[in-house]
Structure 1
Amino acid sequence: MQTGLIMLCLAYLLSQFFRAFLAVLATFLERDLGAGADDLAFASGLWFLSFALMQLPLGWLLDRSGPRRTASALLLLGGGGGAALFALATTPAHVSVAMFLIGIGCAPCLMASYYIFAREYPPAKFATLGSLMLGVGSLGNLIASYPVALAAETIGWRASLWSVSALSVLVALGIFFKVRDPAPSDSEEKGTVLDLLKMPVMWAILALMFVMYAPTGAVRGLWIGPYLSDVFGLAPSQIGTASLIMGISMIVGTLAFGPLDRIFGTRKWVIFAGNFGSALTMLALAFFIGTNATLSIAIMATAGFLGGTYAVMIAHGRAFCPPHLVGRGVTLVNLAGIGGVGLMQFVSGRIHESMQGTATVTAPYTTIFAFFGLALLAGSLIFLFARDNVD
């Protein structure tokens, strides 16, 4: 099982890479394919949307077929195949199709390990184990920063994508041969995701989950690149460094928040504190939008740290799920988080497109970051009505 979890961690590392590398390649893709920021926002949104849409069948597949076959097959076809298609892209539309396929391939990477944690380990350790997997796997976020910029400048972005495609295939094969499926549940109860949606306790959780990942997922995954390039004129290598700083802060935040539910005896207030603070930092970024690059990078890094409650939120939702619906439960909560980023990326792309040619270059980014901050603020306030739990 340990070797299998290592393979799943590598798969999640690839998932983190794929959701973040567009920000660093933006300059190269605009030069070679004519892909503007709104095109990349659409492609990024498709990644999150296909990832989210896969969560419902994924929950059923995990409960029925187990994580070994589910994760290996999807990563092989979607991750390996999608990355190969990206390497062959000649238009922005090809990039969008490739990102849609890659999103499908990445969909089970984290949830497969969370399913194993939920079935094989004590509930009280779920948030800590989940945060550890999330934090270590988030190294892919770092690889998608300066190293990608360096690789693109050295061997070209196409060769870089071919390499990632080959790595995806190898990891998928490793999952197939090394992951061991948990023993089937002893429960004879049947149910669907609709049974979870009938539980009032889930709705405040899903409301916050829908908006909580956008400040980190959307900004680190895309907008940090065009923003720092358009407003401050930073070069790709400098954007890569800024992305690296934000990526590191996200990992540190994830690892820091993981055990806090057991330390303070509450999940609700740990989650609220992190997300309320993240909302305020996004609003601060909108306010200080054109002051200087160093301040903006520091604010984005702070938002990344405070947004490190994702695994704690999954644990919060999972604690209310009956044993026979664990797979569907964790994927439902994850669907809300990833789906929210996808939809908000589409909206942010339209905001950027509609505000092109405005009097100031900062105006589109002020609106985008304020939109993210206000949405997260609203979700945090709704979450105040959530029920607390600690295993």
Structure 2
Amino acid sequence: MRIGLICLVLGYVLSQFYRAFLAVLTPALEADLGATSADLAFASGLWFLVFAAMQIPVGEALDRIGPRITAVTLFAVGGAGGAMLFAVAQTPAHITWAMALIGVGCSPVLMAAYYIFAKMYPAAMFSTLAGAMIGFGSLGNLASSAPMAWAVDALGWRETMVALAVLTLLVSVALWLTVKDPPKTTGDAPKGSVLDLLKIRALWLIFPMMFVNYAPAAGIRGLWVGPYGAEQFGADTALIGTVTLVMGLAMIAGNFLYGPADRWLGTRKWVVFGGNGLGALGCFALVVMPGDASIWTATAFLSLIGFAGGSFPVLIAHARPFFPEHLTGRGVTLLNLFGIGGVGIMQIVTGRLFEGWEATAHDPFRSLFLFYGVLICCGLALYAFSQDRTD
């Protein structure tokens, strides 16, 4: 199982890569296909929305047939197939459909690992293992920054996507050979569905925070940092790659720190609350930052947003004790639906709002960061009343 988990980490590295690489490809796709920022915002948002929508069937599949077949089938067909479709794209619409297919492929990988953690490891270790999974997987976030820019400059973006399609297929084969399903529960297991989870009142105040906590970090890192660097600071592909690399490193550091923080401090709720409060401050700092500030000052605040946006695994750990045992798979995927779905919706919303801000606002990027800061604050206002829970 250790080798299987390593392969799941490799799959999640690619999942993290695919959700963030469009920022670096922005100049190339604009030049070759005429794709606008709004087009890419929609394509990126659709990746997250499709990924989120898939969490319901993925949760059912994890509980009924196990993580092995679920992860392998979707990752091979959706992930590799979507990357190949991206490589031969001729219009922005083709990019959109390719991103949707890749979203299907990436949807089971992290949750397959979380399902194994929940079923086979001590409950008190869940957030640490979950955070480490995201931390190691976030190497894909780094690969989608400067290394992706170098590959595109050296090979071309189409050739790079073909190579990624082949790599995704090879990881799928490795998952088939190494991942083992947790032992099935013997006897007559109780029946249930996602509707039973939605009836648990303790989750109602966790869902809104789950919906907003990852949206600013993922949205800015995965898309907006590219246009922001290019339009505000005249950054080229290489410099955008460097900025996204620094932000990606901050996100990895956040994932590793959040993981064990609940055991160090004896609380999950206030770890999440404090971390996301810092994220809101980072957004507001970019709003009030002087116009003559350097790109590296902006990068520092962007990195704070990325660092603070790593509360995802602690939120799942906060909610997990409220799940009935037989609904573990559906529980973690339901939380993931809110987390990833929030990113997708906000990508599409900010893309549409940005077009309006460009026409009316003096600086549309300040409006964008203000929007994200207020969004986090709204989530915190509800989450403050949630019930803390540790194992």
Letter in 2 for 1:172: S
**2:310 equivalent in structure 1:** 308
Letter in 2 for 1:4: G
SS in 2 for 1:280: helix
Structure 2 distance, partners of 1:51, 1:28, is 25
SS in 2 for 1:35: coil
Asked if 1:277 corresponds to 2:247, the answer is no
Structure 1 distance, partners of 2:29, 2:95, is 9
**1:365 equivalent in structure 2:** 365
**Correspondence list, 1:221-240, <5 A:** 221-240=222-241
Letter in 2 for 1:196: L
**Correspondence list, 1:331-346, <5 A:** 331-346=333-348
Structure 2 distance, partners of 1:289, 1:347, is 26
Letter in 1 for 2:194: V
Q: Scaled by the length of structure 2, what TM-score is found?
A: 0.98
Residue 120 to residue 95, structure 1, CA distance change in 2 (3 Å):
same
Tell whether the 8 Å contact from 2:79 to 2:104 is kept in structure 1 after alignment. yes
SS in 2 for 1:259: helix
Tell whether the 8 Å contact from 1:4 to 1:179 is kept in structure 2 after alignment. yes
Tell whether the 8 Å contact from 2:50 to 2:104 is kept in structure 1 after alignment. yes
SS in 1 for 2:342: helix
Structure 2 distance, partners of 1:323, 1:189, is 9
Aligned-pair CA distance for 1:287: 1.9
Structure 2 distance, partners of 1:103, 1:57, is 14
**2:219 equivalent in structure 1:** 218
Letter in 2 for 1:302: L
Letter in 2 for 1:109: V
Q: Deviations over 1:321-375 (max 9, x none)?
A: 0110000000000100000010000110001222334463xx2211111111101
**1:295 equivalent in structure 2:** 297
Letter in 2 for 1:190: K
Q: What stretches of structure 2 of length at least 5 have no aligned partner?
A: none
Asked if 1:350 corresponds to 2:352, the answer is yes
Letter in 1 for 2:182: P
Asked if 1:93 corresponds to 2:74, the answer is no
SS in 2 for 1:115: helix
Identity %: 52
Letter in 1 for 2:180: R
**Correspondence list, 1:312-327, <5 A:** 312-327=314-329
Q: Scaled by the length of structure 1, what TM-score is found?
A: 0.98
**1:244 equivalent in structure 2:** 245
Residue 43 to residue 353, structure 1, CA distance change in 2 (3 Å):
same
Q: Deviations over 1:182-227 (max 9, x none)?
A: 0112461110010010011001110100011011110000000001
Letter in 2 for 1:192: S
**2:126 equivalent in structure 1:** 126
Structure 1 distance, partners of 2:319, 2:359, is 44
SS in 1 for 2:204: helix
Residue 312 to residue 359, structure 1, CA distance change in 2 (3 Å):
closer
Residue 58 to residue 289, structure 1, CA distance change in 2 (3 Å):
farther
Residue 323 to residue 4, structure 1, CA distance change in 2 (3 Å):
same
SS in 2 for 1:319: helix
**Correspondence list, 1:90-169, <5 A:** 90-169=90-169
Aligned-pair CA distance for 1:167: 0.5
**1:328 equivalent in structure 2:** 330
Letter in 2 for 1:206: F
Letter in 1 for 2:15: S
Q: Deviations over 1:172-191 (max 9, x none)?
A: 11111110000112461110
Tell whether the 8 Å contact from 2:357 to 2:367 is kept in structure 1 after alignment. no
Tell whether the 8 Å contact from 1:246 to 1:297 is kept in structure 2 after alignment. yes
**1:193 equivalent in structure 2:** 194
Structure 2 distance, partners of 1:85, 1:257, is 36
Residue 354 to residue 289, structure 1, CA distance change in 2 (3 Å):
farther
Structure 2 distance, partners of 1:230, 1:43, is 20
Tell whether the 8 Å contact from 1:215 to 1:372 is kept in structure 2 after alignment. yes
Tell whether the 8 Å contact from 1:117 to 1:129 is kept in structure 2 after alignment. yes
**Correspondence list, 1:49-64, <5 A:** 49-64=49-64
Structure 1 distance, partners of 2:353, 2:228, is 13
Tell whether the 8 Å contact from 1:289 to 1:296 is kept in structure 2 after alignment. no
Aligned-pair CA distance for 1:34: 0.4
Tell whether the 8 Å contact from 2:4 to 2:180 is kept in structure 1 after alignment. yes
Structure 2 distance, partners of 1:355, 1:45, is 19
Q: Deviations over 1:245-288 (max 9, x none)?
A: 00000000110111011111110110110011111211211221
Q: Deviations over 1:222-246 (max 9, x none)?
A: 0000011011101110000000000
Structure 1 distance, partners of 2:310, 2:361, is 36
Q: Deviations over 1:94-153 (max 9, x none)?
A: 000000000010001100000000000010000000011110000000000000001101
Residue 297 to residue 325, structure 1, CA distance change in 2 (3 Å):
same
SS in 2 for 1:258: helix
Structure 1 distance, partners of 2:358, 2:275, is 33
Structure 2 distance, partners of 1:126, 1:64, is 22
Letter in 1 for 2:168: S
Structure 2 distance, partners of 1:287, 1:257, is 28
Residue 7 to residue 176, structure 1, CA distance change in 2 (3 Å):
same
**1:44 equivalent in structure 2:** 44
Structure 1 segments, 4+ long, off by >6 Å, are: none
Aligned residues: 389
